[in-house]
Chain A
Amino acid sequence: MDFGRYGRELLLELKRSNAAYNDTLVSSCLQDLNLHVCALGDQVAAASRDQHASTDGKPKLSMSVRPSILLQEAAIHRNKRCLLTYHWVRLQRIQKQYWSPRQEENEEPQQLGPAEEDFLQAYQQLHQRYAQNTLPFVDDLRAHAGLPPLNTERVLLRVVTAPTEGPVVLASGVSVEFRVGATHFLPWNDVEEWVRKGHLRVLTGEEHNE
């Protein structure tokens, strides 16, 4: 029993690299977890045989075994938390790989294990089925990821780099002058191209928090 050491190593591996799913380490962590569960069960059973009645009549474990029991419980919870975190972060990375297939510069590609590859395929198929059933005019949901589906909607934007100099009149008739750092609420149709090129960034407003 290692009291959560394998769990810690799982998290350190997450932080260090984009390596493939470490089946060996996960198995070791699960084995450690099971050992702690068995040890806890044995301790509780042994302590129950020696328990005495308390002042209120309910049976109580003796004080000498309680620290050990608490330690076993803490190790069990720690292993569980580490395992859940490891799988959750890897899941996020898989989903990100689907939604943003283009890698940023100097970013290591995420390596996937066989089960993760299967999950990614199933995830893609799920989205394709959804798109076919509900949005027939949409070929690929990823083209509209993070962007409003209706082209008449207005979006909240921040200027990253000014796409034009001086005042311009947009196709919808709205006049605007882009200054770096300014925030605008403009028709999506007019600004879609600049958003895709990275000149403007779409923001979320308070209505998304309600």
Chain B
Amino acid sequence: MTEAVSAQYGRDRRPFLRRLAIASEPYLYSAPALILIVTVMLVPLAIGISYAFRDMTLLDPFSGGFIGLDHFRAIAKDKTFWLALKNTVYWTGYSVALQFAFGLILALLLDKPFYGRGLAQALCFLPWAVPSFLSGLNWAWMFNPVVGPIPHWLYGIGLMSAPDNILSDPDLAMWGPIIANVWWGIPFFAITLLAALQSIPRDLYEAAAIDGATPFQRFRSITLPFLAPTIAITVMLRTIWIANFADLIVVMTNGGPADKTQIVASYIFTQAFRRLDFGYASAIAMVLLLLLMVYSLLIVFLRQTLLKER
């Protein structure tokens, strides 16, 4: 380090190799980490992206040739893709909004001390530990009128005219996976928001209570500002996550009926593993990646401007 600093002053009379060694020192130190990142993360990514520009069909031994932007042109005309994109927005929007709302309520409830809170906390976080495929199957059965109770309940309280399976109703099918996803994802918000809630100093609430704030005013002027950064980051993470999260849909509806529950991620899965068209699947994945990147940049930008205003 000291040598690197002294090297900046005046003309350096040390031999060239020595200067080269000094100049490259920091790069050499970080090289192992960089090499690891490149091989583990960037190489597969690059290969995956390259598929998008190649004709890659698993069962066709002559495929693999470069085809330029053909896949993307096909995507632009692909009705299913556009439907899936629209479905993705619904799926992600409702799932995140409901998970967040219930997660926040749960976190607020668990933040107050009560008898048996430890047990309640453990139980509330349980869904998170259930494998997504299992919870998908579980909910699919629950929605199934032959084995599950939910259609009968809905019929019983008069929400449905007959105890049918909502998963096979084109207008309602999306709600099946969304409900399963909400159930499964509430703990994520509850855990992170609870952690943030518990880091708020109690005496702020006490000071506000003395200042005359009602519980709701305390929530607005203390809890919310404290939670805001956590909310921003978790909602962003969760949005990207859920937009990419096809497990429940694949298990519960497999995109049907009539692609009504097909989201982009499940469409990619279908293209790759049912049609075995890896090239096309890759191209769709790239579009999704770009869209999500634009979304995250937007959020980051929004956050920066909000923070600057503070």
Partners in one complex: no
Please give the residue numbers on chain A whose beta carbons come within 8 Å of chain B beta carbons, in ascending order. Answer: none
Please give the residue numbers on chain B whose beta carbons come within 8 Å of chain A beta carbons, in ascending order. Answer: none
